[in-house]
Amino acid sequence: MTVARELRGVTRAPWRRPSGLRSPRCRTLASAAAPAPSQAADGAWRRSLLSGKTLPTLKTDAAASITASEALLVRGGLVQKSSAGIYNFLPMGYRVLEKLERLVARHMDGVPGAERVRMAQLLPAHTWRTTGRLAADADAGQPSEKMMLRDRKNALFLLAPTHEEEVTSMLAGHTLSPRTLPKRLYQISLKFRDELRTRGGLLRSREFLMKDLYSFDVDAAAAQASYAAVMAGYEALWTALGIAPKRVAADNGEMGGTTSDEYHLLSPVGEDTLVVCPSCDHAAIATDGAAIAIDIAAPADGTAAAAAATTTTPATAASALCAQCGTPFDRAAHTHRAIEVGHLFDLGTRYSVPLGATYTDAAGRAVPAHMGSYGIGVTRLMAALLELGHAAAAAAAAAAPASATTAAPNRAYWPEAVAPYRVALAAVPAGGSGADDAVAAATRRVFEAITAAVPALAGDVLVDDRRGRRFGEKMSDLELIGVPYIVILGKRFLASGQAEVRVQKLGPGHTIVSETHHVAEADLPAYFARVLAAAP
């Protein structure tokens, strides 16, 4: 009784809202009458208890105008807004970000010759003037996307929006030779852009985490090998995440150089527009207005059907003709919004010439390195994964109208590799304090058994040990943050020795995996060993 009253007290506590801040209610923070840990209780167990964690999930529905990912991030207590377009990552959100960052790093480390670095965030303006990317008007304080400041000695700095100038200057300070090339340097670090219009939480923010890799090669042909190697790393990363972004040829724009590709995830909240051939899946960026991008786009990989576009009747604004397979199709029906999550740029010598990043060839001549630049928006990808899961869940609900209740996002569907925790053990009320004690003991037993049998799970199991919470409350919290494997330990488990395992996650091909398994307690370690073994 005391417990219930105090919990209600928490929920009813006044809700302060300091200016400029969202105000999540910490309704899941109370540890009430959690079982007293024995002296021998090890740190792994204590660190797994939800009762000691910060999970300020919101009960209120998010405003309808925000995207599904923003709603899930804020309502799930993963992030909290600091200023417009600038977010703090709370513990649950930090876990996802760190997992995603490590996964990206692992795949960049897999690119032959790639080395990780960490470049400055405060960049000297003079190199940007040298490349022509910092105009005089910027110095005069004109508003732009570049965030700049002057130090106490009046020197001008940019808060890094990207690092082409910095990495090129850095390597220009080294003596390079054909034997020391290629260089493939990458980092995962913050970038800053003063977006006029921020939106969608992490989809377009002013302070965001990015993986950027820069390659330096002896010539264009060698640079193509770097380009291909990074592209292979990207493809491996997408596979590990179980996602399939569309690769499209793109315009280099302000970056300079000649060749570029982008990876886009189709999503109704995306800011770009793709036309996708219904026959061969070839995709192209839709240029503005009536222009017909897809039938003038170069084939993505130089194979097949390049000639098709030239030998058939020109397409009209309403119809398109695939540049890759030659199939004509209804343009409007195959136009999609998309979120850019990665890009590759062949920069040529756009930066190496002005900044003097040259190598010495066999004849002793200084030759500018041929460069490439390759980015993945890590925080944007985090949001895009939530958008994918939300869209897939909505599609699944639409296909099964009896259960169609998912208009508002109530659950995050992460790819298993980046969920805040892979497994949750939900100790649910079993109908009396004696039974609840038995559940608590069983929960501890299961925790010890699965983490002993599968050491890789250590640190990745969340134990919902909170007492005084109903089954539905626990499930809704664990689902909102998106734990893919929820093991229900309650009355039925005590009676049968069988745990119900609810599996819900974003599976390969942008589909929702939603399954329920009944697993005997003794089989749980082997069950999770299989789960880990199947993980990419």
User: In the beta sheet, which residues pair with residue 377?
Assistant: 210
Closer residue to a copy of itself in complex, CB, 147/435: 147
Question: Sign (positive/negative) of CA torsion 439, 440, 442, 443?
Answer: positive
**Residue 185 binding: pick among Zn ion, a copy of itself, none (C-beta 5-8 Å cut-off by kind):** a copy of itself
At closest approach, how far in Å is the CB of 69 from a copy of itself?
18
Q: Applying CB under 8 A, does 190 fall inside the site for a copy of itself?
A: yes
Residue 235 Cβ vs Zn ion, minimum distance, rounded to whole Å: 20
Q: Residues in contact with a copy of itself, total (CB under 8 A)?
A: 95
> Binding of a copy of itself at residue 42 (CB under 8 A)?
no
Residue length of the chain: 536
* 225 lines the binding site for a copy of itself (CB under 8 A): no
* Residue 126 beta carbon to a copy of itself: minimum distance, rounded to whole angstroms: 7
Could you tell me if 108 and 213 are in contact, meaning their C-beta atoms sit under 8 angstroms apart? yes
Report if residue 152 touches a copy of itself, rule: CB under 8 A: yes
Determine if 176 is a binding residue for a copy of itself (CB under 8 A): yes
The footprint of Zn ion (CB under 5 A) covers: 277, 279-280, 282, 322, 324-325, 327
Residue 69 tokens read as 């990912």
Q: Which of residues 194-213 bind a copy of itself (CB under 8 A)?
A: 194, 196, 206-207
Nearest distance from residue 282's CB to Zn ion, in Å? 4
Task: Tell me, residue by residue from 276 to 315, as one string, x for binding to a copy of itself by CB under 8 A and - for no binding.
Answer: ----------------------------------------
Compare residues 153 and 403 and give the one whose CB is closer to a copy of itself: 153
CA dist 412 to 121, 225, 450, 480, Å? 32, 38, 24, 6
Q: Which stretch binds a copy of itself (CB under 8 A): 105-113, 217-225, 394-402, 430-438?
A: 105-113
* Cα–Cα nearest to 234, from 335, 350, 108, 320: 108
CB of 299 to Zn ion, least distance (A): 9
Q: How far is CA 445 from CA 34, 324, 328, 427, in A?
A: 15, 58, 62, 12
What's at 49, amino acid-wise?
L
Region 323-382 residues binding a copy of itself, contact defined as CB under 8 A: 355-356, 358, 360, 362, 364, 366
DSSP, collapsed to helix, strand or coil, labels residue 509 as coil
Exactly one of 131, 144, 252, 327 binds a copy of itself (CB under 8 A); which one?
Answer: 144
Touching a copy of itself, residues 84-103 (CB under 8 A): 86-91, 94-95, 97-98
For residues 353 and 358, give the distance between their C-alpha atoms in angstroms, rounded to a whole number.
Answer: 8
- Report in angstroms how near the CB of residue 294 gets to Zn ion at its nearest: 8
Using the rule CB under 8 A, is 398 a contact of a copy of itself? no
Residue numbers 3-32 binding a copy of itself by CB under 8 A: 6, 9-11, 13-27, 29-32
Q: Which stretch binds a copy of itself (CB under 8 A): 61-69, 180-188, 233-241, 439-447?
A: 180-188
What does the DSSP assignment read for 280-320?
A: T--EEEPPSTT---TTTSPPTTS-S-TTHHHHSPPP-SSEE
Q: CB 159: neighbour CB atoms within 10 A?
A: 18
Instruction: Say if CB 419 and CB 97 are below 8 A apart.
Output: no
Among candidate residues 146, 138, 405, 384, the one with its CA nearest the CA of residue 267: 384
Residue bearing tokens 């003063």: 194
